[in-house]
Amino acid sequence: MALSTAWLEWLVLGASHELMLFASVGILLIGLDDLFFDALWLATRGERSRSAATRPPLDGTIAVFIPAWDEHRIIAAMLRRSLAAWQGEDVRIYIGCYPNDAATLFAISPLVAADRRLRLVVNERDGPTTKGDNLNRLWAALGEDERAEGMRFAAIVLHDAEDHVHPGEIALYRRYLVDHAMVQIPVVPIIARGARWIGGHYGDEFAEAHGKEMVVRSRLGMPLPSAGVGCALTRHTLALLAIERGGDPFRCNSLTEDYEIGMVIGAYGLSARFVDETGATGERVVSRGAFPDRADAAVRQKARWIAGIALAGWDHLGWPGSRRGAVAEPPGRTWLARWMLWRDRRAPLAALVVLAAYVGLLLTALGWAGRAILGWDATIVGGTMQMLLALNAMLLVWRLCMRSLFAGRCYGWREAAWAVPRAFVGNIMAILAARRALVIYGRMLRSGEVVWDKTEHRESDMAVEVAPAPVAAR
């Protein structure tokens, strides 16, 4: 029996050692990367960003762009909520649809006929094309309206069909867009009943990203990635991008055109601001929205983000300092911007490291079982490996504490407690999404085609429980 299993013993013990060594080094490096960023957040926490402009708020009509494909289940409810929330605001909502999406057209048409603030824009081509193409058609329609009416819009706000907008959102944009080319407010995923694991892990990740990552970047004046919702840009900013790209401000061959537009703005030296503050009612001015509550939908969405940001985005944007026409920055700021971009693009590597760790743990457990049942040699953990494991354990505890802290600040103490076990769910979603992202990117390289692989939203997504969202000092 011992001879017949010797090869299996050699394979299991050898593979587990190599995988655990690779994973330990990778986790240490990524953990130190996060630790340095946390230290930067703590070091700048006492700083107060310059308050909103003392000049009068931005005047003029603000356009709201909502691209829609197969959104007939939720688009009408979203438009009614938005119109009610922004009653009295000088806004015009542009909804981009497709001629082969009759259900969405029928859902929107009665509202468009009843309210002059709504503008239905039908794409010339059948859908889905890409979200960037849809937004470019809305931009073209905005220009047509300006020429026909002899006016110019002041700014453009980006939202999705599932969003729950805030009544104070437009007023906030008017105050901050006086001095900034782009303004981003926090995005708060709605944690639905019965979706605490899949949907809840989105809440944990966005709570930390928009409670720390975006805050630090804004404080340091780094380029800010647009979330694609709860984001406003001055009309002059989009016009500049349109001039650079031959008339279309949004990249059509991108899965994450919203992320890229924020980074390009920063490359031109234009100012962007992340604003997290309370409105007149004392609640945070945020954009709420439903996120996938099923594993397959979450993997699809996250794979699109990884493929667009970490893979194709590398092709489109390069690295700070390498872009033609970019504003020259001091070497220190250039390297700081590269570090921020590295953090955006490390998702595939992080998924590989986590996968190696999980497989290594599984093989280690198999080695223990082999020792107990078949008399295999004991797994020897050297001093270097012991030190790596101890450091990684401390970094893991710190990481979970930070995740729990931000989840608690956004949703309350119950979700803070859930954030710890949900970190495992997030790791599994990241591994599966990274694999799918590689497939998507490979298909994009082979075919040269990009398809809007959008998330499906259902009416049940709207039946949610919204936890308290207290505002803490940032």
pLDDT at 467: 45
**Paired sense of beta strands 91-97 and 62-67, if any:** parallel
- Give CA separation, 452 vs 174, 254, 341, in Å: 31, 9, 24
pLDDT at 462: 42
pLDDT at 282: 85
pLDDT along the chain (474 residues), means of 10: 62 84 96 97 74 77 97 96 96 97 96 96 93 96 97 98 96 96 97 87 96 95 94 96 91 91 89 92 92 93 94 86 62 88 96 96 84 72 87 96 96 95 96 96 87 66 43 45
pLDDT at 382: 79
pTM score, two decimals? 0.90
342-363: b or e for each residue (b if 16 or more CB lie within 10 Å)? Answer: ebbbebbebbbbbbbbbebeeb
- SS3 (DSSP) at 464: strand
pLDDT at 333: 84
User: Which residue segment(s) compose the domain that 114 sits in?
Assistant: 1-474
Q: Is the peptide bond before 128 cis (omega within 30 degrees of 0)?
A: yes
Task: Say how many domains are in the chain.
Answer: 1
As a whole number of angstroms, the distance between CA 189 and CA 10 comes to 47
pLDDT at 147: 97
pLDDT at 450: 82
Both structure tokens of 151: 């006016």
- CATH number, domain at 395? 3.90.550.10
